[in-house]
Amino acid sequence: MAAASFCRLKLISLSPNSPLLHHHHHHHHHSRRCRNFGFNYFNRYKVRSPSNIRLRVNCQTTANVESGSEVSNSDLQLAVAAGKDRLLKVPTSNIRNFCIIAHIDHGKSTLADKLLQMTGTVESREMKEQFLDNMDLERERGITIKLQAARMRFMYEKEPYCLNLIDTPGHVDFSYEVSRSLAACEGALLVVDASQGVEAQTLANVYLALEHNLEIIPVLNKIDLPGAEPNRVSQEIEEVIGLDCSNVIYCSAKEGIGINEILNAIVRKIPPPPDTTGRPLRALIFDSYYDAYRGVIVYFRAIDGTIKKGDRILFMASGKDYFADEIGVLSPSQLQVDELRAGEVGYLSASIKSVADARVGDTITHYTRRADQSLPGYKEATPMVFCGLFPVDADQFPELRDALEKLQLNDSALKFEPETSSAMGFGFRCGFLGLLHMEIVQERLEREYNLTLITTAPSVVYRVNIINGDTIECSNPSLLPEPGKRSSIEEPFVKIEMLTPKDYIGPLMELAQDRRGEFKEMKYITENRASIIYELPLAEMVGDFFDQLKSRSKGYASMEYSFIGYRESELIKLDILINGDCVEPLATIVHKDKAYAVGRALTQKLKELIPRQMFKVPIQACIGSKVIASESLSAIRKDVLAKCYGGDITRKKKLLRKQAEGKKRMKAIGKVDVPQEAFMAVLKLEKEVL
Ligand SMILES: Nc1nc2c(ncn2[C@@H]2O[C@H](COP(=O)(O)OP(=O)(O)OP(=O)(O)O)[C@@H](O)[C@H]2O)c(=O)[nH]1
């Protein structure tokens, strides 16, 4: 994360007589200095500089200090002292580890915030940002990408309890991360919007939680809304999930209703972690991120044994060993401790250079006293979707490589290798977990690294069986072996479950059918809502499937998908020729029954998207050497140009500026300028044509 316009410090505790409170107006310097103190109370939270940071003063008063203000060493010592109050050790039987399962927008972040406030972990903030969602992109999209954790202290029947909240990402692309964070907990809050109901994603995560034997506490959120129907929704939870809702908690995270009941239920219902402190160390990594100043910070849950500061540790899957230079808890800012025991949740840093060496799901053990077996459930990240990324300006190639390397330090699921194409020049073929992951990476490359990129249409990974008996993987349509060399092609299939009000069953089944879906099952989960299950090729979901699902159901349907394996399909490669040149990045792999329709639709779409040139440009779709569809872009007539340039000066300027902007995302293919949109055209074909 190299975003220059953001600094990352916030929320440190200070004593009320801290000189900072008197002098903060006088000392200004760049925030980088603060990081150089080498202290760790500066957390990952970002504050839009130059906005203010808020300082806690003994958990009560607050003061605003301009971000980047001088913070002295002694202030930081005091901060530690204040923080230590909250570190009081509790017996294992007083620990509770839990997560929150909720559909997007049902109020997970708002509730997490309230739990932190009610337990005095953070004070009520007027800041807009919510604690558990940090990245800007996340906030803008209203989704949670990375996991976080927070430790809270809560008094129950006069005894102190330590409650660890582990956050989970809310998108299917990250279901592996979800499963790892569930594995770090003994219980989960199931938060359902009382004015909506159970959604597909919630359901999928509840099943995951049940597989991990988590105690599930149902919570109906947003009961303050006039449209809330707590009775209907709790009945739905009982029917759909089979969860007893007689003691369901009514909550309004926004108004702070029901928060105490939730905290009490966590203590009463969720079992404490088993006390296995005597066993060899096993700790589960549920998140890790790269910090430019300290290396990788690993978030873990100790399952067995004890980990101490300075211990030599081994990561069982990666085989790498390190010294745990620093361990600590997340309260939610990082506070150092000397040891963490079975059942506890915390972080460590050990001069690890890349998150790939401390992957989510890996098991940490001691180098000398090793555990026999690693914890179950570890999986390598397998990218499912690939695309080509090319700098518009060829000079930016080295910058693009640097940027990808930097992103990869923090994202072990991101894969890339150089790709050269006669049409596009030098770039990279990149692999992603899914479409959302792809969009996030593209956006970060452009936003944080100031790159202007041309992205080619995403492709899945095909398995091509070669005549000689070999099988090769192909994620780049232009590299598909010739028909004469291959015996068959297999493509990845997914199972999707759509939940929808009954009015939209028809349009959604039609959608799945259009996408080569095979109907599996439909059932009414309540009187008005149905679950529809299909199996279909992943390639048919890449693109606008989700948008279509939303628009055809007026936003009411939700979906969830999982990979089910490879199946043989009758696939062929469709090439696109522009002005007689084959444009590799426009090549696409399609089912043979759809080839003609796609060819026609694609040439028409390209004709719309490619600006007219000074000469006539033929656009053709071909299978092998056979042209199956053809369009032609007529030349710009001289007088049209003359008219444009003959106008008054402001108009001329405007036109030039517009051209300059347009130019940013053009790639010259032969003599023809092809805009970015053209490379994505295959995803935007009119439905009627297909
Ligand atoms: N009326 C009402 N609105 C709420 C309540 N809780 C949350 N909201 C609103 O619902 C919206 C979504 O809340 P978030 O907490 O961001 O939801 P989330 O589940 O974390 O969403 P993601 O981060 O996108 O997964 C926000 O606009 C909240 O202000 C509530 O109890 N009552």
Q: What's the complex ipTM?
A: 0.97
Encode pLDDT of 130-146 as tens digits. 444 444 444 444 333 34
Task: Find the 251 Cα to ligand 1 centroid distance in Å.
Answer: 12
Q: Is the CB of 138 under 6 A from ligand 1?
A: no
Mean pLDDT of 100-104: 89
Task: Find the 142 Cα to ligand 1 centroid distance in Å.
Answer: 9
pLDDT at 569 over 90: yes
The percentage of the chain sitting over the pLDDT mark of 70, rounded to a whole number, equals: 78
Model pLDDT, residue 73 = 35
3-state secondary structure 119-162: CCCCCCCCCCCCCCCCCHHHHHHCCCCCCCEEEEEEEECCEEEE
Mean pLDDT taken over the chain: 79
Q: Is the CB of 459 under 6 A from ligand 1?
A: no
Q: Is the CB of 492 under 6 A from ligand 1?
A: no
Encode pLDDT of 148-160 as tens digits. 788 888 999 989 9
Model pLDDT, residue 443 = 86
The number of the ligand 1 atom at minimal distance from the alpha carbon of 255 is 31
Residue 526, Cβ density class (10 Å: 0-12 exposed, 13-18 middle, ≥19 buried):
middle
Pick from 158-167, 183-192, 416-425 the range whose average pLDDT is largest.
183-192
Q: Is the CB of 104 under 6 A from ligand 1?
A: yes
pLDDT at 14 over 70: no
Q: Is the CB of 252 under 6 A from ligand 1?
A: yes
CA distance 324 to 48: 32
Q: Is the CB of 102 under 6 A from ligand 1?
A: yes
Model pLDDT, residue 173 = 67
Q: Is the CB of 169 under 6 A from ligand 1?
A: no
Beta bridge partner(s), residue 488 = 465
Q: Which residues are annotated as a binding site?
A: 102-109, 167-171, 221-224
pLDDT at 24 over 60: no
Residue 44, CA distances (Å) to 47, 98, 153, 292, 414 in order: 10, 22, 21, 11, 21
Q: Determine the distance from the C-alpha atom of residue 361 to the mean position of all C-alpha atoms in its chain, rounded to a whole number.
A: 16
Confidence of residue 660 (pLDDT cuts 50, 70, 90): low
Q: Is the CB of 225 under 6 A from ligand 1?
A: yes
Task: Find the 238 Cα to ligand 1 centroid distance in Å.
Answer: 23
Model pLDDT, residue 116 = 84
Q: Is the CB of 254 under 6 A from ligand 1?
A: yes
The number of the ligand 1 atom at minimal distance from the alpha carbon of 191 is 19
Model pLDDT, residue 171 = 62
Close Cβ partners of 470 (under 8 Å, ≥ 6 residues apart)? none
CA distance 354 to 410: 7
Q: Which residues are annotated as a binding site for GTP?
A: 102-109, 167-171, 221-224
Q: Is the CB of 607 under 6 A from ligand 1?
A: no
* Cβ proximity of 200 and 553 under 8 Å: no
CA distance 685 to 690: 8
Query: Of 110, 141, 148, which is best to mutate to test ligand 1, by the most ligand atoms within 8 angstroms of its C-beta?
Result: 110
Lowest mean pLDDT among 13-17, 260-264, 609-613: 13-17
CA distance 536 to 517: 4
Q: Determine the distance from the C-alpha atom of residue 579 to the mean position of all C-alpha atoms in its chain, rounded to a whole number.
A: 40
Query: Of 105, 189, 192, which is best to mutate to test ligand 1, by the most ligand atoms within 8 angstroms of its C-beta?
Result: 105
Model pLDDT, residue 559 = 85
625: how many CB neighbours lie within 10 A of its CB?
6
Encode pLDDT of 487-511 as tens digits. 999 999 999 999 898 999 999 999 9
Confidence of residue 280 (pLDDT cuts 50, 70, 90): very high
Task: Find the 172 Cα to ligand 1 centroid distance in Å.
Answer: 19
CA distance 87 to 52: 27
Encode pLDDT of 604-642 as tens digits. 988 888 888 888 889 999 998 899 999 998 887 655 545
pLDDT at 102 over 60: yes
CA distance 532 to 553: 13
The number of the ligand 1 atom at minimal distance from the alpha carbon of 221 is 31
Confidence of residue 88 (pLDDT cuts 50, 70, 90): low
Which pair of tokens denotes residue 576?
């696109």
